[in-house]
Structure formats: C-alpha cells, structure tokens
A = this chain, B = another copy of it.
Amino acid sequence: MNHTLPPAEAYSPRQNAVLESALGLLVEGGERALTTAGVARAANCSKESLYKWFGDRDGLLAAMITFQSSKVKAEPAGSGSTGRGALVAQLTGIAATLLKVLAGDVSLALNRLAIGQAKRGEADLGQLLREHGRRPIETRLSALLESGRRERLLDFADTREAYRTLYGLIVRDMHVRLLLGDSLDGEEPAKRAAQGIKEFFRLYGTEENTGPAPERAGAGNERTG
C-alpha cells in the first residue's frame, strides 16, 4: 500500500474515469477548484474511495500527472528511412507534436499546478512532471539528433546542448507565456516547428546541409535563385 510513488502500471478503469474527471476540473477552474469534495462530486465517487485509491490529495495530483502522461505516449516510433529529408520530416513532426502538447489545456493546467506547488528546494510534482513529460521528448529528439550526426547530416559535440538549442528554437518563450495566461495569437504549431528546424539546421547542419539560406528579410518573396 505504498501511495508515495504512483505505480507504473495503469489504474483501474474506474480510477481512470475519476482521474479524467479530476483533470477536467483542474483545467476548468485551476488548482483552487480541485478539492477532494469537488472531485468526488464530479466523478460520482466518495471521498473515502479517493483516499483509499490515492492516499491523499498529493497522491491524487501525482496520479493525475502519471495518468495524463500515459495517455500522451505511444507514438509511431518513426520510420527507419534515412537521409536529410527524412530527418527533417521526423524532427518537424516531433517538434509540432511537442508544441501542440505544450499548448494543450491539460498540459498547461498540470504544469501550472506543479509550478505553483514548487518551492525553493522541494519540488515534488515538478520532478514528476519533468520525468514523465519532458524526458521522453528529450530522449526521442536526442536519439534523432545523434542518428543525424551519424549520417553526417548534423554536426555538434554535446547532444544535450544541441537538444536544448533545438528546444529553444522551437518553443522559444511560448510555454511560459501560455503558462502566464497569454494566448498564442496565430502561432501555428506546424509552421513554427518547420521554422525552428530550419534554423537549427542553419546552426548545426553540416556545411552542405545548412539548408537553403531561408527567407530572411523578405518573408514570402523570391527564393534565392
């Protein structure tokens, strides 16, 4: 009966439904709306069951994070094709997915929850969110970057550094802005992803692979004849 770290195996269908209700409540009204009584009412279950299943309120929050991350998983691992085009396509796809996930209601709500909870030093939910939410993306992107390096399409020394730069080029300040309540006015995920990847190749592509020096001052005019 260790509730301190949520189990890796999934919860029961009933518990999944409860967690779904809780997530909806969180998305709708923020942390203040996520009371135990509120969750019980929204999910048509008793508070006693909540405490039996998740230990206490913090356990419920942790379960919500693991549950949500388990839903996002399971992607099509990418085709085995090689070459610059394939690499760009895969990177762009992951980048667009990343942007869409980060901008999603549930992700934002959970990040707000974990960040609001975090204090100097202790950061229980934050670590959980990093482990379940960010590390998978990092490993996938890093693997792709390194495969690109093996193909001599990319050139970098430190994978982690390259990954972070790529992340910065893709996400920029969008995430924090959204977390603070700003709206992404017209930031198209796919377009941003493509642009970020293009810029990344200009920085870390091998000489013949920095891509067509893309539209600079003229956004939409002649393409370098």
Contacts and interface: CB of A to CB of B under 8 A. Distances in A.
B126 A180 contact: yes
A157 B203 contact: no
Contact of A109 (B120, B182, B215): B120
Nearest to A123: B181
Contact of A29 (B27, B117, B119, B219): B119
A116 B120 contact: no
B218 A180 contact: no
B180 A130 contact: yes
Oligomeric state, in copies: 2
A14 to B, nearest CB: 27
Interface residues on A, range: 35 or more
Highest count of chain B CB atoms <10 Å: which of A29, A111, A167, A172: A172
A217 B179 contact: no
A93 B88 CA distance: 34
Contacts of A146: none
Nearest to A109: B120
Given A169-B165, A173-B167, A203-B202, A118 B179 contact: yes
B181 A127 contact: yes
Interface string A130-159: 100010000000000000000000011110
Interface in A103-117: 105, 108-109, 111-117
A225 to B, nearest CB: 12
Contacts of A215: 157
Contacts of A112: 115-116, 118-119
A62 to B, nearest CB: 14
Contacts of A134: 173
Contact of A164 (B30, B120, B157, B172): B172
Contacts of A130: 177, 180, 182
14 contacts: A28-B120, A30-B118, A30-B119, A31-B116, A111-B180, A115-B179, A119-B181, A123-B180, A155-B224, A157-B215, A157-B217, A173-B175, A199-B203, A204-B216
